Amino acid sequence: MQFHLNGFRAGDPLQHAPATALHEAARDCVDVLIVGCGPAGLTLAAQLSAFPHINTRIVEQKEGPIALGQADGIACRTMEMFEAFGFAERIAKEACWINETTFWKPDEHNPAHITRGGRVQDVEDGLSEFPHVVINQARVHDYYLEKMHRSPRRLAPDYGLRFLDLNIDESRPYPVEVRLAHGDADSRVETINARYVVGCDGARSAVRRSVNLKLEGESANQAWGVMDVLAVTSFPDVRYKVVVRSASEGNALIIPREGGYLFRLYLELDQLAPDERIANKQVEASDLIAAAQRIFSPYTFDVKEVAWWSVYEIGQRLCRKFDDVPEDEVATRAPRVFICGDACHTHSPKAGQGMNVSMGDAFNLGWKLAAVLSGRAEPRLLHTYSAERQAIAADLIEFDRHWAKRFSERPKTDSASDGDAMAAAEFQRYFTQHGRFTAGTAFRYAHSSVVGDDKYQHLATGFEIGTRFHSAPVVRLCDAKPVHLGHKVKADGRWRMFVFADQQDPTDANARVNALCEFLRHEKASPISAHTPPDADIDSVIEVCAVFQQSHQDIALERTHALLKPAKGRYGLHDMEKMFCVDHRGGNDIFLMRGIDKAAGCIVVVRPDQYIAHVLPLDSYGELSAFFQRIFTMAQG
Ligand SMILES: Cc1cc2nc3c(=O)[nH]c(=O)nc-3n(C[C@H](O)[C@H](O)[C@H](O)COP(=O)(O)OP(=O)(O)OC[C@H]3O[C@@H](n4cnc5c(N)ncnc54)[C@H](O)[C@@H]3O)c2cc1C
């Protein structure tokens, strides 16, 4: 963590100085209006609150933050994102870790009873430096709210404000006019003008309706009962994630929860008719407890306390577009209104994706909005949000549909044990095969203005272009600290250029890494010269970091290139945290781990949302400049 750059400040370094523009920020004319304080809205708000010059408001119809309930699964990929926001470690400490999943099936000797059929490691080794964890959605909200409160914008939600409708008039400086209803007795209506509006208002999104988008998909909904309970039970795997498929009483999931005692039970209820609503079926918590007793027979649950329960119905549905610009108008206008999260895709809770993908949407959109509102990128960049996230959501819904179908199939019980064994083993294999999907690490963005082609992919086979940057351990040159390289990427809207040097000593005057640094620092055509405002720190738009193959003890820091220890801030202090070496002592060679060509080296360009935008040779100056020119406007010099 770096601080004190612009002068010593006592106290908590996570508490940023308030933005100077704060006191004059208008409440009724804003850059971004976010509707909804769920995981999507709060991710976006936390991201935008980091930019002192961006005026954001976030409104929520509820009277205050939620305290319990809703989703709880945090995929490895989401933990990586939390690291960028600075609270992954705290969540890892507080949450329950899902290390293994056990599978239960009908006992072949007595199908009315269940028996343990198998056990798999939940996340494959090396997939991420972070675990798969579970924690109450409300706590995730708390971490975001804290982040927003400590940000330069001191952003806090306006509760008790309900989005009504909007209209767009491009001739106005703040083109989107929004009407909001206060929850107070006289139901006052307030009007806000915004440059951009983002509907993070859940599955029944009013923002979605206001721009004529529809959730399309299966209407035959599956109902689920969900309960967070404290219970005395004879079931032995209550601290594992458990998948139970009983012979005739239905299916269930156990999700162990934070704190060591609480656990969640998901119980599959009846399939609903197309026009049927679970809310009308008058299901009670006691019905769910009784269903659990039947499914888990012969094990018993003596439920002492139900902390939260709900019945939950959801189909797999998706919008064709996640913004207000129809496909045939993409070439002629940029979006003004976006939808994120459950507002544009809904999933069954079985694969635990709803909250994770919703936050992923917002993380994708946040840096793009910030770049456009900072004047660094043209508004056409905003088209890439819908293009990228709609494709991801479509893949995920396809996966969810298969997974949900498999989950709901009754296991065979009438045949000899072979039949059962096959069904259970196949189910378990399917779970393992799709582990990367559920961990959130399998998503890949297609080639676009913000994702390069794969011409040089062979230079770093483990850094697949379009996928998230898969971190690996390195040693920092300036202080020999073992760190994770990926943790350089913070949610600050900056791009990173990781320069993986070839085998030559980087302090040789003619080393290729030095020639690249010379180009980046001094040539007019370099993306850093072209796109960094003249009065800003050299790394404020694109941060260059180098990784050397030598041990940190064998490199003379004083002879490394100045771009890698640049003078910054009001005192011109040197930022020493941009050079890294292979972790020889720990036996972790990032070059080997990520398939980097040691003889050639390469540049790995990483977007502000931690996705790999490009892999290029060390001397591909023209291609590097051309790539950034497609994204950024030229800085005024
Ligand atoms: C009751 C409930 C139970 C759930 N249970 C589970 C579960 O057990 N397991 C699981 O995996 N997932 C569950 N989910 C789904 C999971 O919570 C979502 O996938 C995830 O929260 C999506 O995040 P989001 O930010 O897109 O939307 P949401 O979390 O739905 O947030 C939307 C927010 O917008 C607000 N809002 C809506 N309309 C307006 C308006 N007009 N004006 C202002 N504010 C508005 C809402 O009050 C809400 O706070 C549940 C969702 C709900 C609603």
- DSSP character string of 540-595: SSEEEEEEESS-GGGS-GGGS-GGGS-EETTTTEE--TTEEE-BTTTTB-HHHHTT
Closest residue by Cα to residue 52 from 95, 23, 29: 23
CA of 230 to the centre of ligand 1 (A): 24
Does residue 199 contact residue 270 with C-beta atoms inside 8 Å?
no
Q: How far is the CA of 203 from the centre of ligand 1 (A)?
A: 7
**Residue closest by Cα to atom 12 of ligand 1:** 71
Pocket probe for ligand 1: among 70, 254, 257, the residue whose CB has the most ligand atoms within 8 Å is 70
Ligand 1 center–CA 226 separation, angstroms? 15
Q: Is the pLDDT of residue 621 over 60?
A: yes
- The residue whose CA has the least distance to atom 41 of ligand 1 is 163
Output the pTM of the full model.
0.94
Residue 72 annotated among the catalytic residues of the structure: yes
The catalytic residue among 196, 240, 266, 456 is: 266
Position 272 pLDDT exceeds 90: no
The pLDDT value given to residue 18 = 80
Output the average pLDDT for the chain: 91
* Smallest CA separation from ligand 1 atom 10, residue: 71
Cα of 70 vs centre of ligand 1, distance in Å, is: 7
Cα of 348 from ligand 1 centre, angstroms: 13
Task: Among 337-351, 462-476, 576-590, 608-622, name the one with the lowest average pLDDT.
Answer: 337-351
Active-site residue among 106, 111, 349, 566?
A: 349
CA of 259 to the centre of ligand 1 (A): 24
206 Cα to the center of ligand 1, angstroms? 13
- Mean pLDDT is lowest, of 111-125, 269-283, 412-426, for 412-426
Residue type, 392: I
- The answer on pLDDT for 466 being more than 90 is yes
Length of the chain in terms of residues written: 637
- pLDDT, tens digit, 9 for 90 and up, residues 512-553: 999 999 999 999 999 999 999 999 999 999 999 999 999 999
Comparing 86 with 152, the larger pLDDT belongs to 86
Reported confidence tier of residue 5, pLDDT bands at 50, 70, 90 = confident
> For the sheet containing 473-476, what is the strand order?
482-484, 473-476, 579-581, 542-548, 495-500, 602-606, 612-616
Residues 6+ apart with CB under 8 A from 510: none
CA 199 to centroid of ligand 1, rounded, Å: 12
Q: Would you place residue 434 in the very low, low, confident or very high pLDDT band (cuts 50, 70, 90)? A: confident
At 314 the pLDDT is 67
What does the pLDDT read at residue 279? 67
The atom of ligand 1 lying closest to the CA of 361 is 26
- Compute, in angstroms, the gap from residue 60 CA to the centroid of ligand 1: 11
Q: Which ligand 1 atom sits nearest the alpha carbon of residue 226?
A: 8
Instruction: Look up residue 254 and give its two tokens.
Output: 């156990």
Range of 201-210, 306-315, 582-591 with top mean pLDDT: 201-210
Q: Which residues line ligand 1 (CB under 6 A)?
A: 35-41, 59-62, 70-71, 137, 162-163, 200-202, 206, 226, 310, 312, 341-343, 349, 352, 354-355, 358
From the candidates 208, 257, 476, 607, which is the catalytic residue?
Answer: 257
| Nearest protein CA to atom 51 of ligand 1, as residue | 70
Mutate to test the pocket of ligand 1, among 132, 253, 342 (most ligand atoms within 8 A of CB): 342
Most informative mutation of 74, 164, 182, 201 for ligand 1 (most atoms within 8 A of CB): 201
12, exposed or middle or buried, with CB in 10 Å at 0-12, 13-18, 19+? exposed
| Residues in contact with 401: Cβ distance below 8 Å, sequence separation at least 6, in sequence order | 218, 316
Q: pLDDT: is 534 or 461 the higher one?
A: 461
Identify the pLDDT of residue 420.
47
The catalytic position among 31, 72, 237, 539 is: 72
Name the pLDDT band for 24 (thresholds 50, 70, 90): low
* Tens digits of residue pLDDT in 478-510: 999 999 999 999 999 999 999 999 999 999 989
Which position has the higher pLDDT, 449 or 409?
Answer: 449
Q: What are phi and psi of 170, to 5 degrees?
A: -65, -10
Other beta carbons within 10 angstroms of residue 530's beta carbon come to 19
For tokens 């991420």, what's the residue? 128
Paired residues of 474 in beta bridges: 483
- Span from the CA of 134 to the centroid of ligand 1 (angstroms): 17
pLDDT at 416 over 50: no
Residue 571 appears among annotated catalytic residues: no
Q: pLDDT tens for residues 518-529?
A: 999 999 999 999
Q: For residue 42, give the ligand 1 atom closest to its CA.
A: 25
Which of 63, 145, 178, 312 to mutate for ligand 1's pocket (most ligand atoms within 8 Å of CB)? Answer: 312
Q: Taking residues 388-412, what's their average pLDDT?
A: 81
Any catalytic annotation for residue 266?
yes
Question: Average pLDDT for residues 601-625, to the nearest whole number?
Answer: 98
Max mean pLDDT among 117-126, 221-230, 383-392, 418-427 falls in 383-392
pLDDT over 60 (residue 178): yes
Quick count: other Cβ atoms within 10 Å of Cβ 334?
18
Rounded distance between C-alpha atoms, residue 109 and residue 551, angstroms:
61
Poorest-confidence range of 15-29, 156-170, 231-245, 564-578? 15-29
Q: Would you call 438 exposed, middle or buried from its count of C-beta atoms within 10 A (0-12, 13-18, 19+)? A: buried
Question: How far is it, in rounded angstroms, from Cα 224 to Cα 221?
Answer: 10
pLDDT of residue 418: 47
Residue with CA closest to ligand 1 atom 39: 201
pLDDT value of residue 551: 94
- Residue with CA nearest ligand 1 atom 37: 201
Q: Which residue has the higher pLDDT, 437 or 630?
A: 630
Give the C-alpha separation, 604 to 525, whole Å: 19
Is 174 labeled as catalytic in the residue annotation? no
The closest residue, in CA terms, to atom 29 on ligand 1 is 38
Question: What pLDDT does 414 receive?
Answer: 47
Beta bridge partners of 574: 567
